[in-house]
Structures are given as structure tokens and as C-alpha cells.
Structure 1
């Protein structure tokens, strides 16, 4: 052999002593007999047989370790069993290994020649994966193929960890002879294992099919009974054995359930903020109809989740989610949730009606909150879920006494039902940021002040809920909404008020479970605006926007009148004199201001809010952007308009009890 030439598989063989062949053959037959006897037994696994084959090969060769691999695909071999004289069974370690990968010329040489191959100094031999050889402490290794016909179905690798071993010519012949006999038993056991696996697979498919039919029947019955999807949670948890959550279209958790052993105190599902993560939103948007998507664990998500969008009328109305907590996600989990989503979609498509409107109204409200959908389609979408845009509406913010309540969906339905029986009409409800939101529809048409009507219904509902022993936190009612497009901004304002109340425990105790009107805390909210000056500017624009728009279309000078009224300290006569109009004209315009906006001219706190809005916009914008009227002083000089002296009549600004 020339210098630098890699040693061949015969280079380290040593001659077999005379008279030893007969003894070797006897040992081979004895080892094979033991393997055959084991394989003939009942309930013996293929791994047990492979481990015994490997152990006998070690004894025949005089080495102390072996690992047995079986072919999987494309020239790759998967570790199945292993034996070490010092450790015993090493199946677990070996099962993590795959041979025949790119760069593994050692295995390639065994497969191509279908004969044993020896490598010396394996950690430096160019034919091996040297990193693996060093990690396993391999010095000299013999690879023995398991051959059927001309095909290599497996390989046994034998060595002594951390020790060199010299082989005789007879060692290779001995290993090849034993491997040839053992292959007959291995092939039969392998085929038996594959047949058993196929039978179990068919049984699982049959079981899964029955399970899916059961789930479909449960979902169909639930929908036919007009019950919320959340009522299916407990059966799903029993079937899947993992935490399951139901979300509305905005991503808010409607309800959740988990196996008792998990002892979860908070909802494990995605939060609305996590639904809005770009990569999460993209994965869900690309998910085909009635299909699932697995969201990988990330720093923000902590663990993997399987999510199925629930689609109704070509729009996502909610999501079903399974959380991977201790137990891996399976294909069965995906199949079960996909069947529920498909059943729900088909049932809603086949039976449109009141039940669908009731269920889809939550998705409609969630869509409003997240500003989904074109404004032009709002009337059609509202009509589809039974909401009359010609009636006045109010948004209620109800704080959750028990955050992440597993029965959240059912409790919301209960409160909505009680409000309805108390004289109100809850046309939609959902959850967002730790609170329940209810959209209340008045029996009156137009943008009327329905505060008293809503307050009466909600107070009655709160008493009824308390009488049943249920807890409800404080309730905040918005200004009457002129348009449902105001829902997102109204929800944001109510959240700010809720944050203020929650920071003052005495306020929470004083208000809960009573109703709080947004107008009563509007000034406090403006002062404590969490978004600073930018938020104050946005609030100011929102307050004056309907008046500015009405003036632009009708030239009604409502903004000019409001400025003059503020400058006149809320008195009619100075306002009329300053505008050179009749007092009744001022009264009419103030009435229109009350109807078109949330400004209440008879309330001092409302006027203070309007004055603050003018001051903020005057500070940051040109006066022309707010009104073409001459700049007027605000609540500081009652004689400034036309230099009129103070009037003796009592001011008309009063505070309602």
C-alpha cells in the first residue's frame, strides 16, 4: 500500500489460526438458534430481535458495542437498536441516529459492495462522519450489511468504544455468515411489524372517522339548538386532551377549557395583540377554508398552537385553537377542529336566519372594533345580523370581575339576555382587553339621547344578575352613537375611563355594579388621557367633527354658535347679541348641537370639554381649520362679545341629578 493511500477493508485483518473455522461455525449456528427461538415467541418486538442479533455479533467478533440500523428511504438508514457490554440496552441513543447521509462514504461503501467494510482510526478516516465518530469514541469499526437478494435492508456497526481492535480474516467471514442467517429472521419480523403497524393504522383511521362523525353530530346539534360554539368546548377537550379556546373575529377569547390536570387559572389561548402580530396574521390569512395552521413557538407565543379560522359567508367569524401544553399536537387535533369549522360553516350557509344573526352579530361587532370591512358595506352587514342603523345605539363596557373566566361566553349571553328582558335590546356583544362590550339598540329612531332608557334597562339587569349570585363589575355607557363607525373610538374612550376607575379602588367600590355614563367622567378622561397631547387632539377632533361636517354641508354655523355660547358663559342672551340673531335661533342651534354631537349645552362639564377641545385645536391648528368665525374668548370674558355688560339673568347652565 502506497503512502497516503486509505486502508482497504482487508488491511487490518489477521490470519485465522488453523483449526479455528469449525469452532467459528458452531458458534454462528448457536447464536442463530437463539435468535430464531426468540423470534418464534409471542409478543416479541423487532427491536428485541435486532438487539439480540447485535449482541451475538459483538460476542462473535470480540467487541463490546453495536448498533443496528434499518433502511428507511433514499439510501438512509435509521437507528433501531443498540447494545453495549458496559451499558446494556442503548436503543434510545441509537434511535436518534441516521446513517447514509451526505458525506457518509463509509455507509455508501457498505451498500455498494453489500459486504462488510472496516475503518481504522475512524475519527480521522475521510470516509466517516468524523464528528460523530469522535463523539461516540469510535476507534476501529466494522460495518456488516443485512442483505436480502442484492438489496441491503440494514447495517450492523460493531466496535469497542475507546479501544482499537484487530480483526482476523475469519472475523469478517464469521460476521458475514451470521448476518446472512440473522437476516432471514429479521426480514420476517420486520414484515410482521409492518403488517401490524398497517392494521393499527387502519384501526386508528376507523376510530378517527367515528370520532369525526361524533364531533360533526355534536356541532350540528349545537347549531340547530342555537347554542354558542363555546358550548362544544368540554366535549372537544375530552376528545383532544389539550386546552381548547374559542375566539371571536377580533381575536378576543370568548371561552376556553382545559383538562383538569393542567390546573390552568388563565386562558392559554392567543390574545388579540398576538393575533395582530404580522407573521400570525399572515399565516391565518393564507390558511385555506376549513383548514388549520400550526403557529410555531416564539418568544411572544411560548408554545405551539393549532388554529382553525371559522368562516361564515366568506368572512372569518372566529377561531378555534388548540394549545400544545405538555402533549404534542397531532393530526387528529387538526382533523377534529377542521370538522367543527366545516360543519359550522355549512350549517350557517344552509340555514341562514335568526340563529345565524345572533351568532354572527358578535363577529360583526368584533369587525367594527378592528375596523375591518369597507364603510360602504356597513348597512348591508348590519342588516344581515339584524341591526337597525336608523335607531340610536349605545356601547356598554362591563368590567370582568373574574378575568379569563372559562364560562365567559355563557356569562355574556346571560347578561345580554337579562338586559333584553329588562327593556333594552342587546344586538351584539363581544370581549376585548379584559372587558365585555355590549351594543344596545334603542326602540327609538334617530340619534336621540337614550341615556335614561339604557340606564333603566341596565340597572334592572344588574339587579337581576346580582340576585342570581353572579358578579358583574362596573358598567360604563358611551354617548349615543351617531353612526356605528364610531364604535372603535367609543370603545377606546370607555377603556380609558375603565383604567382610571381601576386605579382608584374606592371609585370601583363606589360605582360597581352601577352604571357610569361617559359624560360624567369625560373631563377626567381628557385630563388623564393616556396618549398625551396626541390623544387629546384626536379626542377634540372627534368631538367637533360632526358639527364641522354639518356646517360644511348646511352652512348652519353650529361651531360658531358653540364658540359664542362658551364665550358668553353659557347664557342665551349674550350669545344672541354677539351673533346678531334671535334668542330662539340660539336655542334651536344648541338643540341641534345636542342631537348631532356628544356636547350637552346644559351640562357644565360637557361645556368644559368643548372649551378644552377648541383650545387644543386652536393651539395646534390654524383657526380656519376649526371655524371661519372670529376668534372668541373662552370662558374668561363674558363681556367680550359686542362689549356687552354682564347680564342679571340667571345662567342656564345646570347639572342634572
Structure 2
């Protein structure tokens, strides 16, 4: 659309189109500042038409309607381009240019309804020419020119020249932006390459260190040299492990990992927030006399924070290279600690199972390599069964970990292919419940192995010190001996708590002697082809013993009247001579006999582990 201003006369061109285009191309090539190029465009546009004011708008990326001011020339508009927007619903002038894709002239803009009249009055606009800037058949920019303070007409030639110039100018801007993006991409690649180069150097240095001095002192010294900053390593409890300075002699010491510093709430919170494998800056804290910032990375072993490595900002600012060095140093420490623990665990696993060891030295070694021990420990003994090929200790431990939730503290394989697992019990659980949880996890693990029936496992009661752990292994051996010698059914796991004190006797006496003992004491209740009445008496005796020898509790478990229990106990006393209701010696005798019957599978209503099973009724 051409405004009526085109009919009021022509104005001579002040700058030829070709020269204007050449000028902005030179501007694009001589400067990398986009603002310089945009300013050159509005100057050339104003000179093409011979006016003193020009404003240029471009459509930002990822928008469809609004155009933003990018450059302005002339009185009142200099420096105002950044705050200008056009192309909105109320801006009929700009929308007409976009829709017509051609030049539009608005005379007396302050009174023309197509323009935003308050804006026109603010900038004292009279007769204005607007042209689209088109690229790839899209209007991506707008140019407006105007003679400030006087009326002005625009010839058809001026309108076409300005529109053609706008298209050239937009192409130059787009080319300039593409070149700038390419330079930035190349710069990012260069920075990335430099970073990767530094990372490769850092990695080679730490890898080389691993084959020479793989200890905390060596890692701290290398970290200090690479970062040129003071380095410290400490355990999570604040025990100092290593200190190093870039020159090897500086007296300046990093204090961020000292116990009195880590006890401060702000510092403790900052350390706890650092994710494994990452690092973070811990700021200065005048309240605790921490005068320097530090870059700290956690050292994590077996999903627990063992300690921290830190460098102190003293000689220069902390950098991304410093971050890469500290995080690589933390990984180096983690690797060395894992190796140390594996080596130590291999020795400890055998140490806690032997009798010829120094308990004090073993306790010191366990504390050093395993850290604080759990409140209670349980030993699992897994023996091969029959002629099948058993799984290895590592495979058993891995399967156990998946069900128990944590890995065994120690593992060991003896020369006779017996696997031993030393397991920690979690806090807040009773020892009896903890042992039951270990037994359940071990049974589930054995059932996952290629040949579950190739193993039998015994679980000790809960223990604490190295001496106790050795005795727990012996206890598990007694349980295994008792069960394998007496039990005719295939049982995967038996815990010592399931046998009670009877494990001491069962593990030391052979099968024949135990069977003679049961026959002697309970002959009247264990006849061949026993009738339902005998089975009922045996179940009553077993439940009475398991119910703390309480007739009331036994009656509740059997769902009978308490007097019925008392009557059956008197019947048992009449048949066997065992006064289980009142004589402690007879109670112990009955308890041992019932344990043997249960393990042999001869106790009606219960399996060898004491779990209830349906009672098989015998036809009369």
C-alpha cells in the first residue's frame, strides 16, 4: 500500500542503493559488534531517503508477531530502540506493512488511527514511511524513516529503494548473526577441547600416581601441585589423613575439614548437600574463624561417605580446572580405599574364623578397614551338600546382598569349600528379629542359585567382638552338624536360635546316641505307627515347652481349654515318667527330646524348622 504522501512530490536520493549496501557490508566485515552493524544500517537507510530519523525493528527468534527495536537514529529516538515494540494488535500501521509486504506511508501520524498515536506524539512523528525487511519470504524486520520537525513526502522510487535496501540489510544481519553463532560454536569447541585436554592430563597424572604412591599423602600432594592450592584429606569424623601444599613447605593449613569447623551448622549442611562424585564450594565463615573459601568433594565407599578432600582458595581463585582435579582426586581415593578394603577383608575373613589370631590386632585392623562396626554381627556358614557343584562365595554374597539390602562385611572361603559371610544387623532391630531377617534373606538367595539343593546354610546368633565372631562361626558349625546328622528332609537354612541351647548338645553327640535318648525318654509316645492320641500328646508337649511352659499360653496356641492342657500333661507324666509341669530337669529332658524329633521330621504338625504343617491323619 502506498500512502498519499507519495503524491505530494519527490525528494532527491541522498545515497545510492548500491553504495548504501556496500557500506553495511563493509561494516559487517570490519566489526564483530552487532550494534555497530545495526547503527550503520539505520544511518544508511536515513540517507537513502534523505531524512534524519530512522528506527529498525527485528523479530526475535522463537516469536511470531512482535518486533523489537534494535537500532535508532535521530532526535528523541537515539538510545530508545531497546524499549520499543511494534506489531501488536493495536499497531495497525505495522500490521498493514506486514500484511501488504510492501511500503506504507502514514501522514500526520499523531492523528492517524493506524498508528499508536500516543507513541507518535511522544516522539513528535509527522509523516513516516515504513517498509518490511523480507528474507526467505518471511517479514523478519521493519524499517521506519521520518523527517523530524517537518512534513515530508515519499516518492514511489524512494519507497522501493528503501524496501530493497531493507531486504539487503536483513540478509547482511542474518549472515552476521550466523557467523557470530559459528564463531561462538567454534569457541565452545575450543574451550571444550582445552578442558578435555586438561582433564586428560589430570587423569594421566592420577593414573600414573596409582602405580607409584597410591596413598592419601601422594594424592593430596598431587592435588596441591595441580591446583597450586593447599589440600587436605580427612575422615567424616574429622580425623586428619593428609595435608599438602603446592611448594611442599607452606605452613598455611586448610581448616575446613577440622571437627570444630564441620560441627558448625552452615558447614555441616553444605557438606551434606554435596552429591557423590561432585564437588561444591564451602564459603568462609567468620563465626568459626574460617577465613578462606574451599572446594570440597566427598570420598564415598560402599555407598557411605568415608571422608572429604578439600583445597583452599588462598593464592588464586577457584576454577573449573580445580574442580576437575578435586573430583578426580576423590575418585582416586575411593579406588584406593576399595582396594585396601578388599585386601584387608580377604585377610580378616579368614582371621575371624581362626583360633590362632591376636584378637587385639584383629580388632584394630577391622576398625581401620571396616570403620565403626554395626551393633551386632551374625555369621552365616554355607556348606556344599551332596555331590553337586556349589556356587562360589562371591555369587552367594551377591545374591544375599540383593535380598538383605546391604553386602556382607566380610566373606571367606575355606579349603573345604565352606563359605562364610559376616553380616551386620541394622540399628533399631532386636537381635532375634535381626537373625531371622538374615536367615530369610539367605534362604531366598540360595533358592536363586543355579542348584539350590547343592547348599546348606546355618546362621549363628548375634555377636559383637572378633572373639565372638569366631565363636559364632563355631556355633554355626555346630548347628550345621546337628541338622545334617539328624534331619532327613532337605532344609536350606537353619538358625542357631531355632535350636536354642540344644545346639550345644546336638552338635557334640552322634545320631545313634540321640535316637537312643529319645526312645528311652519318650518310648510311650513314639511307637511305630503312632495313633492320633500319641500325636496329640506330642504336639501338646511341644507347644507347652515353646509357650514358656505356661498351660494358659499353650491352651491359647492349641485352641483348647487350659484344663485340657493340664490333663494331657498329667497323661504324659503317667506314660513317660516326665513331670514337665513341675520338674525343671524333666522339662529340659523333654525339650531336648522334642528338638530331636522335630529335626528328624517325627514331630506331628511341624517341619524340622518348627513351622506348622498340616497333620496327616491315620485311618483307624
For the aligned pair, the TM-score class normalised by the smaller chain equals 0.3 to 0.5
The TM-score, its normalising length taken from structure 1, stands at 0.36
Structure with higher Rg: it is 2
